[in-house]
Amino acid sequence: MDKNLFLRIVSFAKPYRRFLPGYTAFIVPGMIFGVLNFVLILPVLEIIFEQKTLTYVENPEFSLTNATYLKNVFYNFLYKINDSWGANGTLFMVCFAVMVASFFANLFKYLAQRTLVSMRVHVLKNMRKAIFSKITGLHVAYFNEKRKGDLMSTLSNDIGEVQNSVVSSFQVIFKEPIMIIGNMVVLFYMSYQLTIFSLIAAPLSAFFIGRLSRKLKHDAGIAQKHQADIMSVIEETLSGMRIIKAFNAQKYVRNKFENANENYRKSSRQVANRQEMASPMAEFLGVSIVLAIVYFGGRLVLGGNLNMSSSEFIVYIALYYNILVPVKELTRSFTSIQKGMASAKRVFEVLDYPVDILKSDKPVSISEFKGKIEFDNVSFHYSEKNSEVLQNVTLTVPKGKTCALVGHSGAGKSTMADLIPRFYDVTDGELKLDGVNIKDYQPKDLISLMGIVSQESILFNDTVFNNIAFGWEDATEDNVRKAAEIANAHEFIAKLEDGYNTLIGDRGNRLSGGQRQRLAIARAVLRNPPILIMDEATSALDSESERLVQDALYKLMENRTSIVIAHRLSTIRNADCIVVLHGGKIIEQGTHEELMDKRATYYNLCSLQNFSKT
């Protein structure tokens, strides 16, 4: 078992004071009463099978740590019972005492388990909270590098496996060692020779279980990877169902899923087989050790070389066999934990993923945009292995002006816009807002100055109201309605079955493309940001929807600083500055008229779209 991983999981149980004191207060009495169940049987065996007569010990020397004193006190009590009620009465009293001890043993064990259940659900809550918080705090590049199916698998399957395998084993890990220790203390007191002999034989069992557990951990890691592959195929299939249908590719995706499913079947079967092998193996090895003790100890008893009566030897064997139950549970849990550790490793890979977008040691607060946005010799690449997406870009966008970014696909337009809200950090150079490097600002303050309308309108499976008010907890109905009116969305919203309380479906699929875009614009209007970043969202719309959306965009851009990624060049003719990008570099810059007069790249782009200088 990976000790560090296990301790990290246990650390999610903090504060420990909520669980450990109460657990200890319950489990220790439970262990004591559990041992008494077997110890109390000894006088019964001596009376019935060995026909011993109980003797009275005058004034036994007091000591709570001396087992002989406790035994003499109990035997004196039985002597008085026997003297008054006879052997039958003594037998009844001992049986009643065993029943009482069993009741309290199980009561305290139950209370201890309740404490561990509280600890277990607390761990899982904190773990889910930590990983979800981590995912929402990671930079955008992380989600471009990782498959969504892997993340979904981590959040659901891996966390579930940690719960079923590792956290559920807390009940065994924290209880059974105490039970084993309590029984071993009594066994050492009864016969240290036999107990030492049993401990010499125990490492053989540990060796076989250890080998099995290592193989199980390796196989479990492979199984979890195959399960993540299944989640990825499902996610891609659900997201791309229209394309799958359009290209008649059902057979292809079914075969892809079947391959992933078959790989997972094989690996999970191997994991299950190894896991099921652990308990029978532990039980067989345990019984073998008990039989060895019976043979070894029996010879000593029969030969008179062991200071132990036949009744005591039977109780010793019963106590030792009682240890096999917690040992078996520990073995089962140990192998189960190894399976869960493969999932825990995947969870902690997400939690330990480095955060590239770091907050400054002394972040500067900003609540108002006053001056300009400056790209000062900015270069950027996504990783060391990738070539530069932007190269030595220098650009100034004054407050209240509209700057349009145009160019062929892959020119760096979207990347340049993504640098402003710090979705990524520049590789070289500086990006400044009001003369201050944006890395020095408080990240929350920086992003609060910006409204973003992307080419794909990102909506959530919620009501119209909550999608417009997204991120603003104090938004009122009046605020939302006014934002919708500016975005040309109020009219169609009012016609929906429940108006602003209408559920719009997954990604807004119950709405048309134009309606989705207008909701996204209304969301930006409600934020009332001084800076707008827009990946033009009209290219895939019909003429009527395009007119409504474009009109809403013009309203939104009034008196704001706007960065527009232009696909339809007809929409940016009135921009204050048009920047033409090619290969990550600015190759042209100016107004529409100035760039058309140059008859260079921008002129050619406009000509391709049948747009002329008129």
User: What number of other Cβ atoms are within 10 A of residue 332's Cβ?
Assistant: 18
Position 9 confidence tier, pLDDT thresholds 50, 70, 90: confident
**Mean pLDDT, residues 109-121:** 84
pLDDT digits (tens, 9 = 90+) for 37-91: 766 666 666 655 554 555 656 666 665 555 566 666 776 777 777 777 776 777 7
The pair of three-digit structure tokens given for residue 431, joined into one six-digit string: 């990006």
Question: How would DSSP label each residue in 102-154?
Answer: HHHHHHHHHHHHHHHHHHHHHHHHHHHHHHHHHHHHS-HHHHHHS-HHHHHHI
**Mean pLDDT, residues 20-33:** 83
Q: Is the pLDDT of residue 436 over 90?
A: yes
* Percent of the chain surpassing pLDDT 90: 14
d(CA 176, CA 510): 55
What is the per-residue pLDDT for 110? 87
Q: What amino acid occupies position 30?
A: G
Output b/e per residue, 112-137; b: 16+ Cβ within 10 A. Answer: bbebbeebbebbbeebeeebeebbee
What is the per-residue pLDDT for 373? 94
Do residues 366 and 375 make contact, with C-beta atoms less than 8 angstroms apart? no
Q: Is the pLDDT of residue 328 over 70?
A: no
**Mean pLDDT, residues 124-135:** 85
Structure-token match 């009034």, residue found: 558
The residue with greater pLDDT, 146 or 532, is: 532
pLDDT digits (tens, 9 = 90+) for 352-405: 888 777 788 888 999 889 999 999 999 998 877 777 889 999 999 999 999 999
Rounded to the nearest angstrom, the gap between the alpha carbon of residue 11 and the centroid of all alpha carbons in its chain is 14
Give which of 33, 51, 161 is closest to 100, Cα–Cα: 33
Whole-Å CA distances, 16 to 19, 122, 178, 373, 597: 6, 11, 18, 50, 74
Give me the residues paired with residue 428 across strands: 379
Whole-Å CA distances, 132 to 44, 488, 609: 60, 35, 45
The continuous run of DSSP H or E covering 397 comes out as strand 390-398
Q: Is the pLDDT of residue 165 over 90?
A: no
For 281, residues 6+ apart whose C-beta sits below 8 A from its C-beta are: 208, 209, 212, 331
The residue with greater pLDDT, 228 or 25, is: 25
What is the per-residue pLDDT for 399? 92
* Percent of the chain surpassing pLDDT 70: 81
d(CA 595, CA 407): 13
The pair of three-digit structure tokens given for residue 112, joined into one six-digit string: 């201890």
pLDDT digits (tens, 9 = 90+) for 511-555: 888 888 888 888 888 888 899 888 765 655 556 666 777 777 777
Q: Which of the listed CATH numbers 1.10.3720.10, 2.10.109.10, 1.20.1560.10, 3.40.50.720 matches domain 3-351?
A: 1.20.1560.10
pLDDT digits (tens, 9 = 90+) for 444-469: 889 889 888 877 778 888 899 998 98
Q: Is the pLDDT of residue 236 over 80?
A: no
DSSP H helices, 426-538, are 443-448, 464-468, 477-486, 490-494, 513-527
> Strands 450-453 and 531-535, how do they pair?
parallel
Ranking 124-138, 294-308, 554-568 by mean pLDDT, the lowest is 294-308
Mean pLDDT, the chain, rounded, equals 79
> Strands 585-590 and 402-406, how do they pair?
unpaired
| Residue 587 DSSP SS3 | strand
Position 612 confidence tier, pLDDT thresholds 50, 70, 90: very low
Ranking 117-121, 233-237, 276-280, 389-393 by mean pLDDT, the lowest is 276-280
Read off the DSSP letter of residue 165. Answer: I
Whole-Å CA distances, 421 to 126, 139, 414, 436, 516: 30, 11, 12, 14, 23
Position 217 confidence tier, pLDDT thresholds 50, 70, 90: low
Q: Is the pLDDT of residue 146 over 80?
A: no
Q: Is the pLDDT of residue 122 over 90?
A: no
Question: What's the whole-model pTM score?
Answer: 0.66
Output b/e per residue, 420-430; b: 16+ Cβ within 10 A. Answer: bbbbbebbebe
d(CA 260, CA 196): 51
Q: Is the pLDDT of residue 428 over 80?
A: yes
Q: Is the pLDDT of residue 117 over 90?
A: no
What is the per-residue pLDDT for 613? 43
